[in-house]
Amino acid sequence: MTALDLSSPVAVVGTGTMGQGIAQVALVAGHPVRLYDTAPGRAQAAADAIGARLDRLVEKDRLTGTDRDAARARLTAAGTLADLADCSLVVEAVLERLDVKQELFRELEDVVDQDCLLATNTSSLSVTAIGGALRNPGRLVGLHFFNPAPLLPLVEVVSGFATDVTSATRAYETARAWGKTPVACADTPGFIVNRIARPFYAEAFAVYEAQGADPATIDAVLRESGGFKMGAFELTDLIGQDVNESVTHSVWESFFRDVRFTPSLAQRRLVESGRLGRKSGHGWYDHGPDAEPAEPHTAEPSQPPAHVTAEGDLGPASELLALIREAGIQVREDEEDYGTRLVLPSGGQLALADGQTSVEFRDVVYFDLALDYRRATRIALSASQDTAPQTLAEAIGLFQALGKDVSVIGDVPGMIVARTVARIVDLAHDALAKGVATEEDIDTAMRLGVNYPLGPFEWSRRLGRNWAYALLDDLHLRDPSGRYAPSLALYRHAYATDKREGSTS
Ligand SMILES: NC(=O)c1ccc[n+]([C@@H]2O[C@H](COP(=O)([O-])OP(=O)(O)OC[C@H]3O[C@@H](n4cnc5c(N)ncnc54)[C@H](O)[C@@H]3O)[C@@H](O)[C@H]2O)c1
């Protein structure tokens, strides 16, 4: 099965933000494109807007003037649905309402040929449900583009229960021929990206709600330690709190209110109060003209310890030992495998976030997971009211000696990056086990769709196969709501690995 022939006309119905972007992609790829919208004059306005964007591409030398003129000549605004009769593909990007989309496809079925491929750009409705209105649902496929469609490479190609393999393959190959990176996925709530990305927002909001840290500190830790391009608070201010919350809400509702997807109360309050982010001038942050950038909490300079004793294996944080030595601090190694801790001169201990709280131990400071401890510019530490001040001071001084800014947060189990990554890894394993997509496509989708520095499976391999399971199991013990319950898929993965490695733990 090959991509659609470039001479085949493509129709885009609904010419708002997404419709215009998708039309531009198909047009620049070489198809004749028809635009249709029910709002009077909107299809022509969209054609003009796309034309202006092509002009800008010419100014930036990314399109020749000849190609721009040819593309413009291929683009037309249709007056009625009947004008789409000879199209080989119709992509729908209308209002996100099941009844509206069903009615549109019902009408389209009477207009287009039998072999015309139908596609929906829905982000939250079920492709199967939309197809339920069709006489031939086998030709309906989800083509989920990301905004802005001309720039973002990812397209989720969604097969509903009734979608024919030939339709899905044709849509997949066509997206690829348009220069996109398609991934194949099953018709489940949130598809790949909007399902697996939920904890990125939810855990940041949960740490804030637990009084663990303020938005600027959590964002800085996610960026500078976690390697994410943006923190959850700044990103949702950019997306719009209402838009982000509605995706969360829809995934939660679609999973029959599965507690793992529960929306955030704090975000609800923002939306209720009209603090929608950049577009309203205020969200988690103030975006007004005189707004000062919010600063993360950063600890004052502290004296580094003269030495540390490494007990056991630091797992994903092992690289720290080399960094500590390079900073001129003596590392004494204790052969006894007591656990995974660094003992400070005061006798207090420093441990990688593991889903337990500092208050459970005599004198422990936790440090957060980093994508790469060498490149991280900030590390979060958490201590409880029982932690000796000297232990915390030595822990702060140690990371400062490695050139890191230090943010001290509250005693939140799993801290910030560790709990976020563990939950993303868990949802990825769960999605894989449920046939949502392949491991490779899930990794690709999360890197391209939401810019993660690593795909969840790549991250999982780096962290050690049962790291995420162990952390979530500990978190689940402390919050038995089910929110952190590791999936059966993650359990199987961790257990199978343990057996392979001959471990009895
Ligand atoms: N905006 C995003 O970031 C994004 C990303 C991925 C997918 N989506 C999905 O894409 C679709 C469109 O979203 P958008 O943000 O472009 O919306 P939009 O509001 O910008 O545009 C929707 C357009 O559809 C038109 N329309 C409404 N009903 C119609 C009908 N029956 N027939 C023809 N035209 C009709 C409207 O006049 C409007 O021009 C939705 O399903 C949305 O969930 C949006």
Specify whether 107 is catalytic: no
Neighbouring C-alpha atoms within 13 Å toward the C-beta of 258? 15
What confidence score (pLDDT) does residue 361 get?
77
The Cβ of residue 250 has, within 10 Å, a number of other Cβ atoms equal to: 19
Write down all domains in the chain, each with its CATH number in brackets. Answer: 10-187 (3.40.50.720), 192-285+419-505 (1.10.1040.50), 307-409 (3.30.750.190)
Distance between Cα 325 and ligand 1 center (Å): 56
Specify whether 147 is catalytic: no
Burial, 64: exposed, middle or buried (Cβ in 10 Å; 0-12, 13-18, 19+)?
Answer: exposed
Q: In ligand 1, which atom is closest to the CA atom of 101? A: 31
Give Dmax (Cα) for the chain. 80
- 89, 117 in Cβ contact below 8 A? yes
In short, whether 37's Cβ falls inside 6 Å of ligand 1 is: yes
What confidence score (pLDDT) does residue 476 get?
97
Q: What is the pLDDT along the chain (505 residues), one digit of tens a residue?
A: 699 999 999 999 999 999 999 999 999 999 999 999 999 999 999 999 999 999 999 999 999 999 999 999 999 999 999 999 999 999 999 999 999 999 999 999 999 999 999 999 999 999 999 999 999 999 999 999 999 999 999 999 999 999 999 999 999 999 999 999 999 999 999 999 999 999 999 999 999 999 999 999 999 999 999 999 999 999 999 999 999 999 999 999 999 999 999 999 999 999 999 999 999 999 999 999 999 999 999 999 999 999 999 988 888 999 999 999 999 999 998 766 556 789 999 999 999 999 888 787 778 999 999 999 999 999 999 998 889 999 999 999 999 999 999 999 999 999 999 999 999 999 999 999 999 999 999 999 999 999 999 999 999 999 998 899 999 999 999 999 999 999 999 999 998 855 555 544 4
- Helix pair 488-500, 467-478: axis angle to 10 deg: 130
SS3 64: coil
Specify whether 287 is catalytic: no
Q: In ligand 1, which atom is closest to the CA atom of 42? A: 39
Phi, psi of 302 (to 5 degrees): -135, 155
In short, whether 431's Cβ falls inside 6 Å of ligand 1 is: no
Helix H segments across 113-189?
A: 127-131, 165-177
Of the candidates 24, 65, 79, 13, the one whose C-alpha atom is nearest the C-alpha of residue 47 is 24
Phi, psi of 334 (to 5 degrees): -100, 115
In short, whether 94's Cβ falls inside 6 Å of ligand 1 is: yes
Q: Closest Cα to atom 10, ligand 1: which residue? A: 93
What confidence score (pLDDT) does residue 358 get?
79
CA distances from 252 to 156, 246, 263, 359, 467 (A): 20, 10, 7, 32, 26
Q: Which residue out of 123, 126, 460, 466 is catalytically annotated?
A: 123
Which tokens go with 14? 């609904």
What confidence score (pLDDT) does residue 212 get?
97
Burial, 206: exposed, middle or buried (Cβ in 10 Å; 0-12, 13-18, 19+)?
Answer: buried
What confidence score (pLDDT) does residue 235 get?
97
Distance between Cα 153 and ligand 1 center (Å): 19
What confidence score (pLDDT) does residue 497 get?
56
In short, whether 96's Cβ falls inside 6 Å of ligand 1 is: yes
Q: In ligand 1, which atom is closest to the CA atom of 104? A: 31
Which sign, positive or negative, has the C-alpha torsion 149, 155, 159, 160?
negative
Q: Which residue out of 194, 225, 244, 250 is catalytically annotated?
A: 194
Specify whether 156 is catalytic: yes
d(CA 485, CA 381): 24
Q: In ligand 1, which atom is closest to the CA atom of 122? A: 41
In short, whether 121's Cβ falls inside 6 Å of ligand 1 is: yes
Phi, psi of 323 (to 5 degrees): -65, -40
Q: In ligand 1, which atom is closest to the CA atom of 92? A: 11
- 406, 368 in Cβ contact below 8 A? no
Q: Closest Cα to atom 9, ligand 1: which residue? A: 122
In short, whether 17's Cβ falls inside 6 Å of ligand 1 is: yes
d(CA 370, CA 376): 7
Q: Closest Cα to atom 18, ligand 1: which residue? A: 16
Which sign, positive or negative, has the C-alpha torsion 207, 208, 209, 211?
positive
Q: 364 Cβ partners below 8 Å, 6+ apart?
A: 341, 348, 349, 350, 351, 358, 383, 387, 391
In short, whether 240's Cβ falls inside 6 Å of ligand 1 is: no
d(CA 139, CA 121): 14
* CA end-to-end span of the chain: 49
d(CA 13, CA 113): 16
d(CA 245, CA 391): 40
